[in-house]
Structure 1
Amino acid sequence: MIHYRLRCIGQHHEFEGWFKNAEAFTQQMEAGQLLCPHCGGQDIEKALMAPAIARKREDVPAPAPVAAMPDDVRAALQKIRAVVEAHCDDVGTNFAAEALKRHHADMESAPPTRGIYGVMQPDEREMLEEEGVDFAMMPWIGRADA
C-alpha cells in the first residue's frame, strides 16, 4: 500500500488517499476516478508530504483507497445540500457552540424553527456526542450549479 497526500486543485482542499501501488494511483487519476471528498472536484494532484517516521505498529489495517463517487450518489448529495442551504442557517465554524446552545434551550422550550449547518473540529464533535446533542455529518460536495 502507498499513501499520498492529495490536493483538489480548484478549491485547494487537502485529503489522503491509499493505493495498492503508485501505478494504481496513476490509473485512477487518468481514469478520472479520484474525487475531492470536500467538493467533488476531479482536478486532483499530489501534495507535499512529510516523510514517514518508522515506528513499531500493531497490525493496523490501511484505510480504503479513494474511490470514484457514482453520479447518482453525487446528484443525491447535491440535492441534499440544496435543501439544507434553503431551509437551514449557515453558522460556519460556530456550529458546535450553536448546536450546544440550541440543545440546552430545547430542554427548556420549543425547538427553533430553522436548523443550522456548519463545520466543526473532531474534538468539538466528541464534545457534542458526550453532551447528547443530535446532529448528522455529511459530505459537503460542490453545488450542482457550480
Structure 2
Amino acid sequence: MISFALRCHPAAHAFDGWFRSGEDFERQADAGLLACPICGSSDVSKALMRPAIATSAKTKAPDAATGGAVEPSRPAVEFANAEAAKAIAQLQAMTRELRAKADYVGPRFAEEARRIHYGESEHRQIYGEASTREVKGLREEGIAAFPLPGLPEDKN
C-alpha cells in the first residue's frame, strides 16, 4: 500500500489516499472513482509530497504541535483543518449506517447489482467489492455504483 497526498481542483482541498500502487491511483482517477471528501469534486490529482524516511524504532521525532515526541512507527493522523476532520467523520458515519442497512454481497457486487437493476433479484441495498472495470460497466448500463470510504476498523 502507498499513501499519496491528494488535492482537488479547483478548490485545492488537501487530503490523503491509500492505493495498492501508483497505477492503481491512475486507474481510479481516470475512471472518476476518486472524490474530494470535502467538496465531492472528482477532479483529483497527486499533490507535492515529502518523502517518508525510515528511522530506527528507538528514535523519536519531535512533534511540532506539542514540542514532545511521537513514535515513528505510530504516525498521527493529520487533517488540513477541523472542517476536513469533521467531513471525514461524517463520511465514515454514513458508511457505517449504509453498511448496517445493506446486504454484503462480497465480490459478487457487480453481478448482484445487475440482477437487482434488471428485476431478477429483490430490490435492496447492497455493498461489496468490484473492480474499476466492473464499476465502469455498471455506470455505462445506468446502474448507480460508487466506492465507499474505508473505515479504521477495516484495517486498510
Structure-1-length-normalised TM-score: 0.50
Select the structure with the greater relative contact order (CA < 8 A; seq sep ≥ 6).
1
